[in-house]
Amino acid sequence: MSSFLARMGRFSAAHRLVVVLAWVAVFAGLAGVLGAKGLGENSPDTIPDSRSTLALATMSEQFPSDAAQGATLQLVFHPSDSLVTDPATAAAISQLLAQAADLPGVTSVSDPFDASSPYVSPDQTLAVGTLAYGDLTADQQQADYDAALALKQAAPADLGVELGGNLVPLGAPEQGLGEAVGVLAAFVILLLTFGSMRAAGANLLASGVGVVVGMVGVFAYGALWPIGSNSIILAAMLGLAVGIDYSLFILSRFRNELRAGRRVDDAVARATGTAGTAVVFAGLTVIVALVALVVANIGFITQMGVAAAAAVAIAVLISLTLLPAMMRTMGVKALSKKQRAALTAGELWDESQHATTGFLNGWAGFVVRRPVVAILAGVAVLVTVALPMLGMKTAFSIPGGTDPQGTERTAYNLIVDKFGGVQSPLIVLAEGDGIAAHTADIEADLTAMAGVEHVMPAEINAAGDYARIVVIPDAGPIDDATTALVHDIRADEDAITGVHLEVTGETAIGIDQTAALNSALITYLAVIVVISLALLVLMFRSILIPVVATLGYLLSLFASFGASTAVFQWGWSFPLINAPQGDPMMSLLPILLVGVLFGLAMDYQVFLVSRIREMHVAGMDAKAAIREGFARSAPVLVAAASIMTVVFGGFATSTFNVAASIAFGLMIGVIADAFIVRLVLMPAVLSLLGESVWWLPRWLDKVLPHVDTEGHALDDREPEGEREGERELVDA
């Protein structure tokens, strides 16, 4: 493969215009599809065949007369020093509700003191007035909500008014300063790493082109078939992450080859054949793992995996074709002025001599000499950070808004405290011939169940074979008691002869979605482990290295889970976080973290251990190979991980909870995997195991194909005089 990739790199360098035009054609074709079809509708990230979703479809068929209801808001009154029924307080509430009736968009306002439909808590400390709205445009939604919020804020403080609900759909706000700072910091790290503005810019440009082409492709697909918003988020994040890494690894090798005295074309070919081979296998590992999301058997999860895999594939192809063309264009100007001056003077760079100096070489020596200390310290840190994941809780959606301190959540919780889960009821659909004869028994059984606040009288459909019963739980929709209630109802679904019960409604659907995603996470993790072991055995021809690498990935993943739980669920303060805290994490977050962190972990693993194996195959003993390979690969790995840390750290400053939680989890995962697992645990464990780390059963050695990840075929075929002849020289 290294020979093939070297030829690909040489071709791309020699035919730069062809390569650029080819990518322009790909972009134009995808953009043409997008332009012709327009942006497609986002498909909901839901599971269409869950029990509650299927029951909802049946209920819609059997009870078709329900008219669609418009949006509503709630004015929740909880005076601090009086009852809502006190004459003066009641008059103030009625006056405020009269003002609410004049708000833009409001079609009606309910009276909480209306004897026919009161909305006052039994202890008379809470009253709720509902503001009903008609159909609203996007502009009207924001304007009308702002008007209602202004009324709430102008209300007398002693009324304790909160505004429940939100007319504005949840969406990500515009990118802020933090994201821009993260990208700028990434460029600074690249500039410090390369010492060349051109090289740093080429790295970001290549990865940026990959993200743009990949995302246009995803949107073009979405124009033909609906795709979920989380698929787009995962594809963009993973495409950017691996794109920067892949370009960095190949560009770094290209610069080393130039400094060693090779001509530009030869340096391009060799960098693409060596580092490019590692890029292909790292990318292939990630692609296979993402496509493996199909094992979850959940439509939108499969979509996520395929979209992200396509973004990774584009990043690999960009790094093997467009980047070589850019490297040929830069030539020796990819080097710093000092390096160009040395090259002009005929001073060739010897990587082996360079690797014997510097902090990272000293660090490698320490880890090799004290492997037990390094392992114990690294594992202790990761386990400590991971411990909070034992209390991790996920939810498909958070009722009452995403801000635990906001007025919407406060209003929601006040209503839950006094009226139970009236805002998110369970709907029990009972099926059976002559169902009316059984409704009294069904209602009695439901009322007797733990966690039930109230059971509404049953409604019977026209055919008389279905009944709809609204059950008000005494807790909120994501409370464990409500989940237990759903399971209890299903456990007794056939308790009455001739009757079958199903539970549906928004709350039941959320519970089912969370359970399905948690189950999919376990399945996916198991598949990831198998894929990781299989591909790493093929690449490194070792049994122990894949085991250590996979265990290290799991440790860094669990550290990411633990830190995310502590910060976003428990509410621990962290300097970067501006988003609301204190809620369970969204059910999809763990799967997103598994996919993206696996991609980055495999990048770091491949580029670290492939250089160690290269030294070992060249004849060094186990410990010397670790020190030499570590010193050669660690600087680039540190740069790649630092870039990802600052980029994800920038996105973690978002005020949008979903984006911030994803970015924070990725940032912690990168820090844990790159700086602890790969730079501490991996060399320490390899040193402790010694030569046995390269053991492979003979029968397996015969069966496995030989993969030249280190580019030895290029050494065998290197023509005479490749390092000689005319070179591009520049002024120092």
Q: For the CA atoms of the chain, what is the radius of gyration?
A: 31
Q: What secondary structure letter does DSSP report for 293?
A: G
Environment class of 701 (CB within 10 Å of its CB; exposed 0-12, middle 13-18, buried 19+): exposed
Q: What is the arithmetic mean of pLDDT over 185-213?
A: 89
Question: Which pLDDT value is given to residue 728?
Answer: 45
Residue 374, classified by CB atoms within 10 Å of its CB into exposed (0-12), middle (13-18) or buried (19+), is: buried
Predicted confidence (pLDDT) per residue in 273-303, tens digit: 888 888 888 888 888 888 888 887 777 788 8
The residue with tokens 């049994």 is 543
- Residue 170 pLDDT grade (very low, low, confident, very high; cuts 50, 70, 90): low
Helix (H, G, I), strand (E, B) or coil at 584: coil
Place of tokens 């502590």: 566
Q: Pick 349 or 669 by higher pLDDT.
A: 669
- Largest Cα–Cα separation, the chain: 101
Q: What is the DSSP string of 191-245?
A: HHHHS-HHHHHHHHHHHHHHHHHHHHHHHHHHHHS-B-HHHHHHHHHHHHHHHHH
Other CB atoms within 10 A of residue 118 CB: 13
Instruction: Taking residues 690-716, report their average pLDDT.
Output: 77
Which is more confident, 203 or 611? 203
Q: Tell me the pairing of strands 452-455 and 500-504.
A: unpaired
The pLDDT value given to residue 96 = 95
DSSP annotation string for 468-518: EEEEEESS-TTSHHHHHHHHHHHHTTT-STT-EEEEESHHHHHHHHHHHHH
Look-up: residue for tokens 């099926």?
Answer: 431
- Residue 22: the pLDDT is 95
Q: pLDDT, tens digit, for every residue of 478-520? A: 899 999 999 999 999 999 999 999 999 989 999 998 888 888 8
Whole-prediction pTM: 0.84
How is residue 102 annotated by DSSP?
T
The pLDDT value given to residue 721: 43
Encoded tokens for 174: 């515009």
Q: Is the torsion defined by CA of 246, 249, 251, 257 positive or negative?
A: negative
Percent of the chain with pLDDT over 70: 92
Residue linked to tokens 């969370």: 514
Residues 425-434: what's their mean pLDDT? Answer: 93
What does the angle CA 124 – CA 130 – CA 132 come to, to the nearest 5 degrees? 170
Is pLDDT above 60 for 599?
yes
Structural domains of the chain in order of their starting residue, each with its CATH number: 1-38+174-349 (1.20.1640.10), 72-164 (3.30.70.1430), 360-400+525-708 (1.20.1640.10), 407-512 (3.30.70.330)
In the prediction, which pLDDT does 302 show?
Answer: 83
DSSP 438: G
The pLDDT-based confidence of 345 (bands split at 50, 70, 90) is: confident
What contacts 24+ positions apart, CB below 8 Å, involve 483-492?
Answer: 483/511, 484/450, 484/451, 485/426, 485/449, 485/450, 485/451, 485/452, 486/426, 486/511, 488/449, 488/450, 488/451, 489/426, 489/428, 489/446, 489/449, 490/51, 492/445
Asked if pLDDT for residue 720 goes beyond 50, the answer is no
pLDDT tens sequence across 23-65: 999 999 988 888 877 665 555 666 777 899 999 999 989 888 6
The string over 322-358, giving b where at least 16 C-beta atoms fall within 10 Å of a residue's C-beta and e elsewhere, is: bbbbbbbebbbbbbbeebbebbeeeeebeeeeebeee
Contacts (Cβ under 8 Å, ≥6 apart) of 186: 204, 244, 643, 646, 647
CB atoms within 10 A of CB 466: 20
Q: 351 CB contacts (<8 Å, ≥6 apart)?
A: 256, 260, 632
Q: What is the pLDDT of residue 44?
A: 62
b or e along 659-690 (b: 16 or more beta carbons within 10 Å of the residue's beta carbon)? Answer: bbbbbbbbbbbbbbbbbbbbbbbbbbbbbebe
Question: Chain-wide mean pLDDT for the chain?
Answer: 86
* Distance separating alpha carbons of residues 21 and 16, to the nearest angstrom: 9
Range 318-345 average pLDDT: 91
When pLDDT is cut at 50, 70 and 90, the band that residue 231 belongs to is confident
pLDDT-derived band at 730 (thresholds 50, 70, 90) equals: very low
